[in-house]
Amino acid sequence: MNRIYMDNAATTRITEPVLEAMMPYLTDVFGNPSSVHAFGREARKPLEQARKQVADALGAQPNEIYFTGCGTESDNWAIRGAAYASAKKGKHIITSQIEHHAVLHTVEQLEKEGFTATYLPVDEFGLVNPDDLEKAIQPDTILITIMMANNEIGTIQPIEQLAQIAKDHKILFHTDAVQAIGSVKIDVKAMNIDLLSLSGHKFHAPKGVGALYIRQGVKLQRLIYGGAQERTQRGGTENMASIIGMGKAIELADQQMEQHNQKLCAMRDRMIEGIMESIPETRLNGHATKRLPGNVNVSIRYIEGEGILIGMDLEGIAASSGSACTSGSLDPSHVLLAIGLTHEIAHGSLRLTLSEDNTMEDVEIAIAALTRVVTRLRSMSPLYNAN
């Protein structure tokens, strides 16, 4: 059976040009870029080249890019680092209810450490209302952190507008852009973003590497103490091959963005249309247009997400769900609850996230497979009345 991967929001595959760029740094070029000798020097140059590639994709300067171990580390560093660096000015942090756990749990931890927080609600499409942000600002607000695009429902926030509000109030603005890279055109300067997190493996670089953009002049407390790497701000010998891979991957993602987005949007919209046509009592979660090009998230009534996932897996299709059974807790996804879904509807959610590797044929196969899986599960459901 041919397997079809439609879980690209979870992770992506390393593409050939990225692997090719990485290979020398797994073999021949093994020097430590901090070393003075020739081996070190030959590693230093490509490291700085990768930094420039990341900076260029974001409209930043290379000296504003700091390599980290993952998106979660970047989020932790940005939020904890900003909170503690500004703790004398104030204790209040604003975020949204639909952030990734890397942000939410970090803010919650800071609350335990004496900071205060406001979790902005979102509307039924997952959008933060800029007026709500404006109203939530207090004299002691030191940080606003709102994700650029949501990992579950794909909603793209009006980041420029939100960051402008932060700027007007002279408050630091961080955005978790982990899902947005390669799909949303980013210019940190024009968008007034002070801090931005990204993660390599979401755009065809390897796992275990991320970056944090820190606008020049923004002071963060360190998260990781150690050597003088990353201009003394993040100790630890650089993960060379992965960093090189991330540099190549972000350059390609930026170059191919328009072309990929066109292809992805067409597949996404066909998938949504096809599911709605073939499966009654299904709803689209998230926004119809302010949405990541590869994201499909639907709630299918009367059945539970894990069953759908296993059924799809047996059909050869890899997807994801926000049901409690797949979240490892008793509650379904906090994102689906925040957009106003009842527990019952949230349990029956399915996320399919496409990449440019997918084809329209894959989409048709997935629609047909999902229809079969849903029909079978509904026939077993005590909530479903076929009539």
Partner 1 sequence: MYTEQVMDHFMNPRNVGEIENASGTGTVGNAKCGDIMKIDIKVENGVIVDVKFKTFGCGAAIATSSRATEMVLGKTIDEALQVTNKQVAESLGGLPQVKMHCSILAEEALQKAIMDYKQRLDAGEISE
Enzyme catalytic residues: 325
Sheet holding 282-284, edge to edge: 282-284, 295-300, 349-353
Q: Should residue 386 be labelled a site residue for partner 1 when binding is judged by CB under 8 A? A: no
* Residue of 117, 303, 312, 350 that binds partner 1 (CB under 8 A): 303
Report the distance separating Cα 109 and Cα 76, nearest Å. 10
Residues 120-159 within binding reach of partner 1 (CB under 8 A): none
Q: Should residue 372 be labelled a site residue for partner 1 when binding is judged by CB under 8 A? A: no
* Residue of 175, 323, 353, 355 that binds partner 1 (CB under 8 A): 323
Output 13 or 343, the one with its CB closest to partner 1. Answer: 343
Stretch that binds partner 1, among 12-20, 53-61, 201-209, 336-344 (CB under 8 A): 336-344
* Residue of 26, 137, 318, 325 that binds partner 1 (CB under 8 A): 325
Binding mask 262-301 for partner 1 (x = CB under 8 A): ----------------------------------------
Report the distance separating Cα 330 and Cα 191, nearest Å. 38
Eight-class DSSP state of 100:
-
Q: Should residue 347 be labelled a site residue for partner 1 when binding is judged by CB under 8 A? A: yes
Q: Should residue 109 be labelled a site residue for partner 1 when binding is judged by CB under 8 A? A: no
Short-list 165, 57, 143, 161, CA closest to 99: 143
Stretch that binds partner 1, among 32-40, 81-89, 99-107, 324-332 (CB under 8 A): 324-332
* Residue of 139, 382, 386, 387 that binds partner 1 (CB under 8 A): 382
Q: Angle of helix 257-278 relative to helix 360-380, nearest 10 degrees?
A: 30
Question: Residue 317 pairs with which residues in a beta bridge?
Answer: 4
Count residues near partner 1 (CB under 8 A): 24
Eight-class DSSP state of 133:
H
Please count the CA atoms within 13 angstroms of the CA of 83 that sit on its side-chain side: 27
Q: Is the distance from CB of 149 to CB of 179 less than 8 angstroms?
A: yes
Place of tokens 């997400």: 305
Grouping H, G, I as helix, E, B as strand and the rest as coil, residue 337 is helix
Q: Should residue 1 be labelled a site residue for partner 1 when binding is judged by CB under 8 A? A: no
Output 81 or 307, the one with its CB closest to partner 1. Answer: 307
Q: Should residue 306 be labelled a site residue for partner 1 when binding is judged by CB under 8 A? A: yes
User: How far lies 162's CA from each of 90, 167, 182, 354, in Å?
Assistant: 20, 9, 21, 28
Q: Which residues bind partner 1 (CB under 8 A)?
A: 302-307, 310, 314, 323-325, 328, 330, 332, 342-344, 347, 377, 379-383
